[in-house]
Structure 1
Amino acid sequence: MYKTILVPLDGSPRAETILPHVISLAAHYNARVVLLQVVEPIVAMVTPYDMVPYVDKEAADRVLQEVKGYLTAKEGELRGQGIEAKAVVESGPVVSTILDVAEREQADLIAMASHGRTGLARVFYGSVAAGILQRADRPLLLIRAQD
């Protein structure tokens, strides 16, 4: 049923609460797991004279290396359990990048944890899960992460 499962992570323990579910599904269906973390560009400065944002390349490279290390460790954990895994790091807007990677990797399922924000917190912070839910053209496994 599932051949490829895309798992967006953000480096937080809350996001990782989806992993036991993914491990179970991947083992049952002998599915490949694609671990994804999307890094949004880090804008260092916008001056009143120049409305073009300045991106600090060194800071961006440092963040990318940290993310790659994190995902490589998670990839190793899955492989250690006999699951075929691949780590992918992308830059860009989170929701559209997740959907683009799902298409590119031919994911049969997107599996992720929601932080479960409601009310004003959801309005101010937005919801990646809600964005994926509204725009995804494939099955979505969504769990609510608990504190």
Structure 2
Amino acid sequence: MVQNSRYHKIVVPIDGSGWSERAIPHAADIARNNDAEIILLHVFRTPAAEYTDQIALGGGDAQIQQMREEFKQKMISLRNQLRAQGVKARNQFIEGAGVASLICDYINDEGVDLVVMSSHGRSGISRFIFGSVAQKVMQEVSVPVMIVRPDRETN
């Protein structure tokens, strides 16, 4: 066991993109060096309440349930890969709207020591329009946040 570990609980928000998964190896290194646990956190965005009836009528409930289950399986696979590397890991699956707020609430409520997440690398007008979950998390939590930048394409 590591003496004087700085980190005990590390959250890695996973949104289903390959971008978000790029933060996992960084978190795994930190977890191994601190005998810490990684919590893979996913916020499943449920359909807006005003569309729930239309989704149900159109057979969308089954599709949403299938998407939810497929994502849970992917999260289990990521968790199991970490465990196979000797890293303590678990999944946390939250449903709701307001992804950044739900991530921040989880971090603040669960005694998390560190957040390791990737940025999608948006800039300019796209960042202004879509906002940045990473930026919102950095502003709203009191623990360190490590941002892993996406790979740049080389020309």
**TM-score, L = length of structure 2:** 0.84
What stretches of structure 2 of length at least 5 have no aligned partner?
Answer: 1-5, 56-60
1:18-57 alignment runs, 5 A limit: 18-43=23-48, 52-54=50-52, 56=55, 57=61
* Of 116, 119, 122, the match for 2:124: 119
- 1:53, CA displacement in angstroms? 3.0
Distance across 2 between alignment mates of 1:100 and 1:77: 27
Identity %: 31
Distance across 1 between alignment mates of 2:72 and 2:29: 24
Give per-residue Cα distances to partners, 1:41-100, cap 9 Å, x unaligned: 124xx9xxxxx3326333332221111101000000000011110011111221111112
Q: Is residue 2:72 matched to residue 1:74?
A: no
Give per-residue Cα distances to partners, 1:5-56, cap 9 Å, x unaligned: 000011111111111111110000010000011111124xx9xxxxx33263
1:58-97 alignment runs, 5 A limit: 58-92=62-96, 93-97=98-102
Distance across 2 between alignment mates of 1:146 and 1:60: 31
Distance across 1 between alignment mates of 2:35 and 2:150: 25
Alpha carbon RMSD of aligned pairs, Å?
A: 1.6
23-32 or 9-18, which deviates more: 9-18
Query: Which structure has the highest helix share of the two?
Result: 2
**TM-score, L = length of structure 1:** 0.88
Distance across 1 between alignment mates of 2:130 and 2:64: 22
* Letter paired with 1:95: A
Distance across 2 between alignment mates of 1:67 and 1:37: 9
Query: Which structure has the highest strand share of the two?
Result: 1
Distance across 2 between alignment mates of 1:115 and 1:39: 18
74-83 or 135-144, which deviates more: 135-144
Distance across 2 between alignment mates of 1:142 and 1:22: 11
Please state whether the residue corresponding to 2:42 is helix, strand or coil. Answer: strand
Please state whether the residue corresponding to 1:97 is helix, strand or coil. Answer: helix
1:90-109 alignment runs, 5 A limit: 90-92=94-96, 93-109=98-114
- Hey, which bits of structure 1, 4+ residues long, moved more than 6 A? none
Say how many residue pairs are matched.
Answer: 140
